[in-house]
Structure 1
Amino acid sequence: MRIFKQILNFYINSSIHVGLSCYALVRMTQYMFHIPSDESVANFAFFGTIMGYNFVKYDALTRTHKLELRKELKLIILFSFCSFLLAGYYFFQLQRIVQVISVAFLGILLLYTLPFFPNKKNARNWAGVKIYIVALCWVGVTIILPLLNANVSVGSDFYFKCVQRFILIFVLVLVFEIIDLKNDDPHLQTVPQQIGVKHTKILGYILLIVFCGLEFLNSHINGNFQSVPLQLVLIFVVAIVVALFLAFANENRSKYYTSFWVESIPIFWWLFLISLQ
């Protein structure tokens, strides 16, 4: 049992799980826009997410020596370096425009992590900004990059899916912010810190209603009600599952509540979809 827990902790702490979530959303985008399987962009998203999340989580702590280089952390650093090399390999398989935009998102990541200006905090510590940066980056990596790499023309469906994906990630981050409320620096001005847990949950429910409503509206505008019944059903299932996780979120939940179960939602969404194909 102890070995299983160590493996699970390494799986979560090394960001493999969040990388799989990003990979699953890229695959969902490819399904939604009828893009043939594109391993390069999906694998780039997977390894790039692992590298990026580990950099954000461990960079400041290791630079300031606040985190002892235990055996697990050394393995995570080694694994992150391997992920960096693999992300670089797939990066050079992407189209030039996708590479340029990927570098732009890397710039956002660096701004989020490193204090570029003297006596200024990084973007991660800017009051109330974190949740928007995270949601924006996920939209970019899981929707914009796959579509550009596949040369898919941009239409109304693209904008609807971007807003939906932003809402989904935003609400998932709300669950994280509720769980982390007692540990977060008050200066971060997270949503629960600003409006309280109750109103944060209400905001999340409203956004999930919009999330579902956008799918109906998009289907109506594009006249494809008959071709997306499965997609509509899955959208509602995902919204209900996220709403339940949001409803039961509180400061006393274990780290696995968010770091494993909440981050599993995109993975199960994708696996459920492919199991029905």
Structure 2
Amino acid sequence: MTFLKRLLDFYINSSIHVSLAVYALVRMTGYLFSIDAIEAPAMFAFFGTIVGYNFVKYDALARRHKLQIRTELKLIAALSFLSFLATGYFFFQLEHRTKIIALTFLILTMLYTLPFFPNRKNARNWAGVKIYIVALCWVGVTLFLPVINAGIPIGSEVLLVAVQRFILIFVLILIFEIIDLQVDDPNLKTVPQQIGVEKTKIVGSILLFVFMLLGFFQIEFNFAILFSRLALVLLAFLFLMFADERKSKYYSSFWVESIPVFWLILLLVFS
């Protein structure tokens, strides 16, 4: 059991799991907009997320050497390097216009991590900003990148899905912020820190209702989409309602991050 737990921890800590969630949302975009050439954007997003998330999480450790580098961190560094090579490979398979979008979100990731100006904190520590930057990056990578790569015009349908995708990621991050309430720096001014856990759950519930409501305005609409979206909203709602500071890290880092994967599986099964 110890070995399995260490394996699960490595799977989560190395950002493979969150990258799988990003991959699932890119494939979801491919389904919604009937994009056949979805593999290159999906794999670019998958490996790029491993690189980006590990850079964000372990940047300070790598640059300042404040802690002794354990075996797990060495393995994560090796995985990140291989993922960086894979990201580069799939980057060159993207269309030229898509590469510009990809570089834009790379800059956002760097802004999120590194202090660009003297005596300034990075964007990750800007009060109240973190949740919006993360949600925006997810929307950009999982929706706009594959759509633009396929040459699909950014019309009302794409923008509608973008709002939905932003709402979904926003709500999932709210769950993380509730779980991390006791360990987050008070200066971050996360949503639960500012309005409390109960009001955060109310806000999240309203947003999930809006997410579901917006789905009825989409052109592409069938039983599989309706059923999978209902299941997604119900699942996210339950995780939101039962979230509290006493939950283990697996509640958010594994189960909540599994929601996009679960959504895609349901959609494919009932299509």
Give the TM-score band, short-chain normalised. over 0.9
- Structure 1: which 5+ runs fail to align? none
Number of aligned residue pairs = 271
CA shift at 1:39, angstroms?
1.2
CA contact (8 A) 1:97 1:148 kept: yes
Counterpart in the other structure of 1:62: 62
Alpha-carbon distance in structure 2 between the residues aligned to 1:66 and 1:197 = 34
Deviation at 1:66, TM superposition (A): 3.0
- Is 1:255 the counterpart of 2:249? The answer is yes
Matched, 1:238 2:209: no
Q: Give yes or no for contact 2:41–2:146 (8 Å, CA) kept in 1.
A: yes
State the shift of 1:65 in Å. 2.3
Percent identical among aligned pairs is 61
2:261 corresponding residue in structure 1: 267
Q: Is the 8 A contact 1:16 1:50 kept in 2?
A: yes
| Matches of 1:7 and 1:230, distance apart in 2 | 34
Deviations 1:26-49 (A, max 9, x none): 000000011114211110000000
* Rounded Cα–Cα distance in structure 1 between residues aligned with 2:170 and 2:91: 27
- Runs of 4+ residues over 4 Å off in structure 1: none
Equivalent in the alignment of 2:13: 13
Q: Deviations over 1:138-183 (max 9, x none)?
A: 0000000000111112321111100000000000000000000000
1:45-104 Cα offsets, whole Å, 9 max, x none, are 000001000000000133222332000000000100100010000000000111011101
| CA distance in 1: counterparts of 2:67 and 2:185, whole angstroms | 18
1:98-137 equivalence runs, <5 A: 98-137=98-137
Report the residue type matching 1:20 in the other structure. L
Contact 1:201 1:247 in 2 (8 A): yes
Written as runs of structure 1 = structure 2, the 5 A alignment for 1:76-225 is: 76-216=76-216, 218-219=217-218, 222=219
TM-score for both structures, normalised by structure 1: 0.96
1:62/1:68 contact within 8 Å kept = no
CA contact (8 A) 1:12 1:259 kept: yes
Q: Distance in 2 between matches of 1:239 and 1:99?
A: 33
Quote how far apart the aligned CAs of 1:256 are: 0.3
Structure 2 alignment gaps of length 5 or more: none
The code of the aligned residue for 1:248 comes to F
CA distance in 2, matches of 1:215, 1:38: 22
Conservation of the 8 A alpha-carbon contact between 1:178 and 1:192? yes
User: Please, what TM-score do these two structures have when normalized by structure 2?
Assistant: 0.98
Match of 2:41 in 1: 41
1:128 deviates by: 0.1
